[in-house]
Amino acid sequence: MKYINQLEPNELIENFLNHPPQDFSVWLSEDGVPIFSAKFNLLTTADDDFRYKVQKLPFYHKWRCYLQPNTCFVGATVSEYALLNDNVEANQLAENLKTAYAKRYPFLIVKDIPIASPLLCEKDNDYSLRLISSLKAQGFIEVEGQALAWVPIDFSDISEVFSRFSYSRRKNFRRKLKSREKLNINVLHSGDDCFFNDTVIDEYYQLYLNVYQQSEIHFDLLTKPFFTQLLQCKTQNAHIVTYYHDDKLVGYNICFVVNNMLVDKYIGMVYPQARELNLYFVSWFVNLEYALQQGFSHYIAGWTDPEVKASLGAKFTFTKHLVYIRNPLLRGVLRRFIGYFENDKEKVA
């Protein structure tokens, strides 16, 4: 099935449904829309100052469990946007979602609905706007979502990309990119013979875990069966850019090609070598070069580190989360604090 707002191959969505993240329950709604439930820390997307103030409240350690309710999400953690089904009218979908899940869960969140995304067609964007309006009419609260980074491949070479930076930024990036000379860079594809070796799968999964464990946000921990399927599936044709230093794998990017766009999904790294080799910055420009060489129209760089990606020249498109809170008293209280959960636009301004 092809969903509205889909920037991923069908196989990746199926992999999510078959091998959900650790401690997640995943299913399709009656309207064929991906749904999952999980314990969700309500402070996950709060700004640092607000989170610090909450954690300093009296007896926080005793009542913090109430900030991690079992929450129902409409969407998927492997997709950039909420995956919707336009075989159902937006008004009907909104009503069906509320009827099916609002009473069963203290929080119901329709996540990552795009707002006039330049990466989607007009039909997809129009449906998403109608759904937002319909959900608000059903009592959902509108919350600013995250910033999705993307770069149009509108340059003839990387020198042209550098010409768009300030002198000091060019100097800084050129210094960091010198470590590229120490790396052996190759492109593999999912389904290659090497990925049917258990030792290789273990290594790639460990590098993913390295990144997950050092991240500030711990939400969706992908499982080894998910990664195995990801690396072995030929039909989804993942492009895997690998980085070797002294004949040892120190990092990789797993990307997909959808609608002639290079979509960067997963990274794995070995620390501290990856930092010492400035692998984050090197991989950014390698991906841009690869997108240019392959004739892709866009490079989609994901949700994390918006400030860093802004410094690297990324553009951003935003989303909305629509949240239904079952308890009417809590609903009224949290409406007053919505602004503390909407900070990505400030980071990339």
Q: What angle do CA 288, 294, 297 make, to 5 degrees?
A: 65
**216 or 116: which leads in pLDDT:** 116
- C-alpha R_g of the chain: 21
What pTM value is reported for the model? 0.88
Other C-beta atoms lying within 10 Å of the C-beta of residue 194: 13
Question: Residue 136 is encoded by which pair of tokens?
Answer: 């608000």
Q: What is the DSSP letter of 8?
A: S
Tell whether 252 is covered by a domain: yes
Tell whether 306 is covered by a domain: no
Phi, psi values for residue 111, rounded to 5°: -95, 145
Tell whether 308 is covered by a domain: no
Same structural domain for residues 174 and 214?
A: yes
Q: Cα(170)–Cα(84) distance, rounded to whole angstroms? A: 41
Same structural domain for residues 176 and 249?
A: yes
Same structural domain for residues 22 and 111?
A: yes
Same structural domain for residues 125 and 174?
A: no
Whether the pLDDT of residue 45 is over 90: the answer is no
Same structural domain for residues 286 and 326?
A: no
The candidate with the shortest Cα–Cα distance to 48, out of 264, 347, 273, 281, is: 347
Tell whether 135 is covered by a domain: yes
pLDDT 10s digits, 97-132: 999 999 999 999 999 999 999 999 999 999 999 999
Same structural domain for residues 193 and 292?
A: yes
Tell whether 229 is covered by a domain: yes
Contact present, 316 and 148 (Cβ < 8 Å): yes
> How would residue 86 be classed by pLDDT, with cut points 50, 70 and 90?
confident
Structural domain count, the chain: 2
Q: What is the mean pLDDT of residues 44-73?
A: 64
Tell whether 47 is covered by a domain: yes
User: Residue 216 sits in which domain range?
Assistant: 154-296
Cross-strand bridge partners of residue 144: 320
Tell whether 246 is covered by a domain: yes
Same structural domain for residues 292 and 158?
A: yes
**48 or 129: which leads in pLDDT:** 129
Same structural domain for residues 114 and 41?
A: yes
What string of DSSP letters covers 115-158?
Answer: SS-TTS-HHHHHHHHHHHHHHHHTTPEEEEEEEEEEEE---SSH
- Residue 268 sits in a domain whose CATH number is 3.40.630.30
Q: What percent of the chain has pLDDT over 90?
A: 77
| Average pLDDT of the chain to the nearest whole number | 89
Tell whether 210 is covered by a domain: yes
Q: What is the mean pLDDT of residues 79-83?
A: 96
Q: Cα(252)–Cα(138) distance, rounded to whole angstroms? A: 43
Burial class (CB in 10 A: 0-12, 13-18, 19+), 115: middle
